[in-house]
Chains A and B, each alone.
Chain A
């Protein structure tokens, strides 16, 4: 598990100034049109060569469009009402997700629990690894070079910019994802969960809570 002490001086280039454009490179209309054309042609060539079946990419697109917050929220809500499930979720995210019929495509899903003493934050500094089979496509800021570089260096400042001030007494733990290991934050539950329906609880969960850039107001 990647955990860095943010007070530890590390021998890294301290400042790499990215312009807003560099932090998150966005194609202009011409760039999008060109990329779309190349992608379509590439798919056609791969079909001709027998590597893809016709229409297979469309089916796969449907599959990757399906995951989203609803899946992550269901996992969290179940963990909030069922302590045994929570333990299984923390022990092996992939197995626990399978109990609810969710298939985690990545090698491992590591669920990290927020407590009164620890706040967790997820990043992928090298690339943009994200629990896609549970949450779908990552938000644009998650793949930006500035989030990737700063989240491990000054997480409290980054969280402050997201409107979240973590008290000094609470430890901030930053998890650096990789291709095989994807993280998901288990947020702290609302003050009262007894007698509340799982579905209502799931409705309280936001995507950013599962990344660690937001918390449930308790």
Chain B
């Protein structure tokens, strides 16, 4: 069966000819993945990243932007490997949002 990412060959509509800028957070996602995948760490390989977003299910794959897919896949794999949990990350994000008001 073809996976939802395996889209080569369908006639699918116009190609958007936009040239979007590469955003800072997108570069950071790429940088973090590169570092986690380097030969000294070997925590997340490119193939694992692909397996990550190819296991999202079609809905999530369809609605997330390119780098958001990579970010979410990276978090999934880090959770799988016991490096962190989604709950831990969510709590830290929540704290960071509240902090400015508390000080």
Residues of A bordering B, CB below 8 Å: 10, 12-20, 22-27, 31-32, 35-46, 49, 51-52, 56-58, 60-61, 63-65, 123, 125-128, 137, 139-141, 143-154, 158, 161, 176, 179
Interface range, B side: 35 or more
Q: Is the CB of B47 within 8 A of A49?
A: no
Q: Is the CB of A137 within 8 A of B22?
A: yes
Q: Is the CB of A14 within 8 A of B11?
A: yes
Chain A residues within an 8 Å CB radius of B35: 52, 56-57, 60
Among B67-103, those with CB < 8 Å from A are: 67-68, 71, 74-75, 83-84, 88-89, 92-93, 96-97
Q: Is the CB of B20 within 8 A of A26?
A: yes
**Shortest beta-carbon contacts, A-B, top 9:** A125-B8, A60-B31, A36-B25, A12-B9, A149-B7, A16-B10, A140-B20, A25-B65, A149-B12
Residues of B bordering A, CB below 8 Å: 2, 5-20, 22-25, 27-32, 34-36, 41, 43, 46-47, 50, 62-68, 71, 74-75, 83-84, 88-89, 92-93, 96-97
Q: Is the CB of B18 within 8 A of A141?
A: yes
Q: Is the CB of B9 within 8 A of A42?
A: no
Please name 17 pairs of A and B residues whose Cβ atoms are closer than 8 Å in the assembled complex, sorted by A.
A14-B10, A23-B15, A35-B68, A38-B71, A39-B71, A41-B92, A42-B71, A45-B88, A46-B36, A46-B84, A51-B43, A52-B36, A125-B6, A144-B15, A148-B7, A161-B15, A176-B8
Chain A residues within an 8 Å CB radius of B19: 139-141
With A52-B35, A64-B34, A141-B18 known as contacts, the answer to whether A146 contacts B13 (CB < 8 A) is yes
Q: Is the CB of B12 within 8 A of A18?
A: yes
Chain A residues within an 8 Å CB radius of B6: 125-126
Chain A residues within an 8 Å CB radius of B22: 137
Q: Is the CB of B14 within 8 A of A146?
A: yes
Q: Is the CB of B18 within 8 A of A143?
A: no
